[in-house]
């Protein structure tokens, strides 16, 4: 049996909120606000790697994309609209039920499954792109999870991860601000001790035999009430892109 990176307590948190995935004013309001910015980053990285023109009608046609920890499908649906063949996987059955229903209502063909990254890898599934967005800070073993994501990549495949940095600013913003003050998320949604610094994540990807090609911050502007990408500020939310090539995992 394949090892499992799932933390049951973390899954239960999101299972309890599953009904609110598509409510932009509900408990997933922060993700709805963030989604256009991370979507812009993800599509730019994919287009650049695979030589696609985002201005075309279906620029990602022919690409197999996995959204691991897909939640209600906030990123899976745009990928499908861009022409990709999309698989959405989540350990929380309630999330998958909501995601599948919403996709059907939108007329989108997305393969949604209640499963784990390890189970998909054991099946021999391989993808051009694996998206692991806002999930690595919730898994039981981040290093093992990144290694499994590598196993899910086709040769020259791309892994895109987004997560939270472990800084005083991220505690003030993501815990005190988002959970305690604004109450955008239930208290306890995030555990600051499980946040991962960009250098730690880069080391994990390197040790898994992946090559980091980009890191970018996502910065919230309280005056404009919007998000933007930053080349310099990775102090709270950030994204990392890595490629699978011929390098072997580090033995260190």
Task: State yes or no: 90 annotated in a binding site.
Answer: yes
Model confidence over 61-70: pLDDT tens digits? 999 999 999 9
191-230 burial code (b ≥16 CB/10 A, e <16)? ebebbbbbeebbbbbbbbbbebebbbbbbbeeeeeebebe
Looking at residue 27, what is its pLDDT? 76
Is residue 38 annotated as involved in ligand binding? yes
Residue 49 has pLDDT above 70, yes or no: yes
Distance (Å, whole) CA 182 – CA 173: 10
Range of the domain at 174: 8-244
Structure confidence by residue, pLDDT tens digits, 197-247: 999 999 999 999 999 999 999 998 888 888 999 999 999 999 999 999 754
Total number of domains constituting the chain: 1
Mean of pLDDT values over 37-59: 97
Q: What is the CATH number of the domain that holds 115?
A: 3.40.50.150
Is 107 annotated to bind a ligand? Reply is no
Residue 49 lies inside a defined structural domain of this protein = yes
Average pLDDT score over the chain: 89
Residue 251: inside a domain: no
Annotated ligand binding at 245? The verdict is no
Contact 136, 161 (CB under 8 A): yes
Residue 153 lies in a domain: yes
Q: What per-residue confidence (pLDDT) applies to 1?
A: 36
């Amino acid at each position: 049996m394949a090892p499992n990176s799932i933390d049951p307590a973390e899954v239960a948190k999101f299972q309890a909120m599953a009904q609110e995935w598509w409510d932009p004013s509900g408990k997933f309001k922060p993700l709805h606000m963030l989604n256009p910015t991370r979507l812009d980053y993800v599509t730019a990285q994919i287009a650049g790697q695979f030589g696609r023109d985002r201005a075309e009608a279906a620029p990602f046609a022919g690409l197999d994309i996995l959204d691991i920890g897909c939640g209600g499908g906030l990123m899976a649906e745009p990928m499908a609209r861009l022409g990709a063949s999309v698989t959405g996987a989540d350990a929380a059955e309630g999330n998958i039920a909501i995601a599948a229903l919403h996709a059907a209502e939108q007329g989108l063909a997305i393969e949604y499954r209640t499963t784990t990254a390890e189970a998909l890898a054991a099946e021999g599934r391989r993808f051009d792109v694996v998206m692991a967005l806002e999930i690595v800070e919730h898994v039981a073993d981040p290093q093992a999870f990144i290694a499994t994501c590598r196993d899910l990549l086709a040769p020259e495949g791309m892994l895109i991860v987004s997560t939270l940095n472990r800084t005083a600013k991220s505690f003030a913003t993501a815990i005190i601000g988002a959970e305690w003050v604004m109450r955008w998320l239930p208290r306890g949604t995030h555990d600051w001790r499980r946040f991962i610094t960009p250098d730690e994540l880069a080391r994990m990807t390197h040790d898994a035999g992946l090559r980091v090609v980009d890191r970018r911050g996502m910065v919230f502007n309280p005056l404009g009430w919007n998000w933007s990408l930053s080349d310099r500020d990775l102090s709270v939310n950030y994204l990392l892109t890595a490629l699978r090539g011929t390098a072997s995992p580090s033995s260190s």
